[in-house]
Chain A
Amino acid sequence: MSAMADFSGEDAGALRFSGSLTLAGLGDLADRLRDYDGDAKTIDLSGIDHIDTVGAWVIHRFAEDSGATVEGLGPDAQHLLEQVSKADEPVAVRPDYDSSFKRVLGEIGEAVTESARTLYGLLGFLGGTTLAFIHVARHPSRFRFNATVHRFEVVGVSALGIIGLMSFLIGIVIAQQGAVQLRQFGAEAFTINLVGRITLRELGVLMTAIMVAGRSGSAFAAQLGTMKLTEEIDAMRTIGVSPMEALVLPRTLATVILMPLLGFYSSLVAIIGGGLLCWASLGIPPITFIERIREVVPITDLYVGLVKAPVFGAIIGIAGCFQGMQVESDAEQVGLRTTAAVVQAIFLVIVLDAFFAVFFTWIGWI
C-alpha cells in the first residue's frame, strides 16, 4: 500500500500534499485540515500518489473553505476534481426530525388513530369476507375446493403434532399442580374435576387458538403480504379473480372449521396427560379416572369449548389475512404486519374469551 495522505505548510501559504489521497489512505487528514489554522493560498498536489473521489472531495472542501487554489494535478485528476466539485450540493442524509416532545405527542396520536383505523379496517374486512362467503354460497361453483383442502392440511393436520405435545404437557402440569394444592385439604380426588373441566371449557381451545395464531395467522399475513409486494394480488384482480374468494376465504374457512376440531383434540390429549399423572402420582387407575370424568364434567363444558372455537378461528384467519393485505411498498412491512397479525389475533381471542366466560355463566352453563 502507498503512504498515508499527509500535508505540510510552507512559507507564503503554500500547502504541499503527499501520499495517497484515497478513502483507504485518508486517515485523519480531514480532521487535521479542518483544524489547520495557517494561511493557505495554494494547494500543491504534485507530490501525491493517488487521488479518488473522497480525496478530491476533501481537497475541494478545503479549497472552498480557505479560498486556496489547487495546483499540480494531472488532466485526469483535474477532471475528477471538477466532477466532484460539480456534485457539491446540500443533500440531507436523514429525514428531518421534530423535537422529542413533539415527536412523542405525534407518535401517541398516530398510535391512537392507527388503532382506530385498524379496528375499522378489521370490521370492514370481516364484512368483506362475509360477503365473499355469501357470494360463494350462492354460486358454489366458485368455491375453491382444492385451495381450501390444502389449507386444512397446513392449518390442521400439520399442527397435530405440536398441539398434541403442548396439550399433553399442559394436562400433566395442571394435574400435578392441582394434586399438590388439593392434597393440603385431602381433596386430591378433585384433581380429576380440575383437569376435565378446565381443559374442555377453557384451556384446550385457548391454547390451541394461541398456537394456531402463531403458526397459521402469521403465515397468512406473511404469504399475503409477500404476494402484495410481488403484485400477485394486483394481477389476480386484473384477471378478474377476487382475492377475497381465492385467498382469504379458503384460509378463513380453514381456521373456522379446524379450530373446533383442534380444540377438541387438544382437550382430549390434555385429559390423557392429566389422567396419566393421576395414575402415576395419585394412584388413580385410568378406568376410574374416565368414570370420574364422565360424572363430574357436564356436557355443557364441551359445548362451551366448541362454541368458542370457530369464533376464535374466524378472528385468527381474518386478522392474519387483513394484516397481510395491508402490506404496501417494502419488505420491512411484511415483518411488521406479521407481528401485528399474531398480536392482534391473540389479544382479541383473550378479550372475547373473557366475554364468553361472563356470557356462559349468565345463561347458566356453569
Chain B
Amino acid sequence: MADDDDDVIIRVRGLKTSFGEQVIHDDLDLDVHKGEILGVVGGSGTGKSVLMRAIVGLQTPDAGEITVFGEPTIGREETEAVEIRKRWGVLFQGGALFSTLTVAENVQVPIREFYPQIDQGLLDQIAAYKVVMSGLPADAGPKFPAELSGGMKKRAGVARALALDPELLFLDEPTAGLDPIGAAAFDELIASLQKTLGLTVFLITHDLDTLYAICDRVAVLADKRVIGVGTIPELLAMDHPWIQEYFNGPRGRAATATLERDRERQKAGTKD
C-alpha cells in the first residue's frame, strides 16, 4: 500500500496518553489504510484498548493528533463528532449489548438514532438480515443478551456495529473467550464481511491464529509506541526481542505450523 493521504483512514501522530503518573503511550504514530484488516498486538497493559478508545474519542489523550476519515477526533463538538460516528462501528470486548433490548432491537438502536425516518417495517427487516449476516441463528433475534452465550454476544455485537453499514470497524479482542472452532468461524465471518462490505478493520487481538488467518498487516505495540507495522514476514525480519518472542514462541510456532499445513492441504487440493 502506498503512503498517499487519500488512502489513510486513521492517522495517529505523536499520541501521548497517561493515567496519572503511569504513561501508556508516548509519541505513538500509526496509519490505517483503506480496505485493510490491521491487527494490533502487544503484551497485556501496553494500551491496545486505550489506543482504540483514544481513536474513537472515549479517552482524551494528553498530546498528539488523531484523524479519522481526515477529520480530527480530539476535542470536537458533539454535533460534528456525530457525523464521523455514523461511519464507524465498534465492538467492545464483552459485546456491550444493551441488556434491556432484544438482539434485533440492539441492532436497530444506531439506525433509529441516526435515521429516524426509516419506518418500523423496514427497520425490522434490516435488523433481521443483519442478525443472519453476523452468523447468528434466526431464532436469536427476539432473545435478550442475558440469554446468549459469549460467542453469540460477540456476533450480536458485530451485528450492531455493522448496523449503519460503516466503512470502518473497530474490534476489541473479538475471539477472546471463544472456543477454537467458534474463533475460526468468527475469523471467517470478519474476513467475508470485510470482502463483502469493503470494510477497513482495526482489530485488537491476542489470537495468533486470527493474525495469520485474516490480517493484512499487523501493528505491534511495545515500549509505549508502535514498534513495527507490516505483514508478519516483515515483522519477523525485525529483531526486536518482543516480536521474536511473540511470533517464535511456542504458540507462535504452532500457529505458523497450522497455517503451513492449511496451505499444503490447499495445494494438494488444487492438484487433484
| Interface residues, chain A, with chain B CB atoms under 8 Å away | 22-24, 26-28, 30-31, 52-54, 57-58, 61, 76, 79-80, 83-84, 86-96, 329-332
Contacts and interface: CB of A to CB of B under 8 A. Distances in A.
Contacts of A76: 198
B119 A53 contact: no
A93 B104 contact: yes
B164 interface: yes
Given A23-B111, A30-B122, A329-B146, A91 B165 contact: no
Interface string B112-142: 0001011100101111111111000011111
A331 B97 CA distance: 11
A94 B142 contact: yes
Nearest to A28: B117
A92 B197 contact: no
A52 B111 CA distance: 14
B269 to A, nearest CB: 23
B102 interface: yes
Contacts of B126: 54, 57
A54 B128 CA distance: 11
Contacts of B140: 91
Contacts of B198: 76
**Interface bracket on B:** 35 or more
Nearest to B120: A93
Contacts of B99: 330-332
9 contacts: A52-B197, A57-B125, A87-B133, A91-B128, A91-B132, A92-B142, A93-B102, A93-B127, A330-B144
B47 interface: no
Contacts of A58: 122
B196 A93 contact: no
Contacts of A86: 132
Contacts of B197: 52-53, 80
A80 B196 contact: yes
A193 to B, nearest CB: 53
B133 A53 contact: yes
A254 to B, nearest CB: 31
Q: Give the most central of A26, A27, A79, A83: most B CB within 10 Å.
A: A83
Contacts of A23: 111, 115, 118, 164-165
A28 B247 CA distance: 52
A61 to B, nearest CB: 7
Nearest to A80: B196
A260 to B, nearest CB: 40
B141 to A, nearest CB: 4
B191 to A, nearest CB: 13
B4 to A, nearest CB: 22
A79 B141 contact: no
A22 B130 CA distance: 15
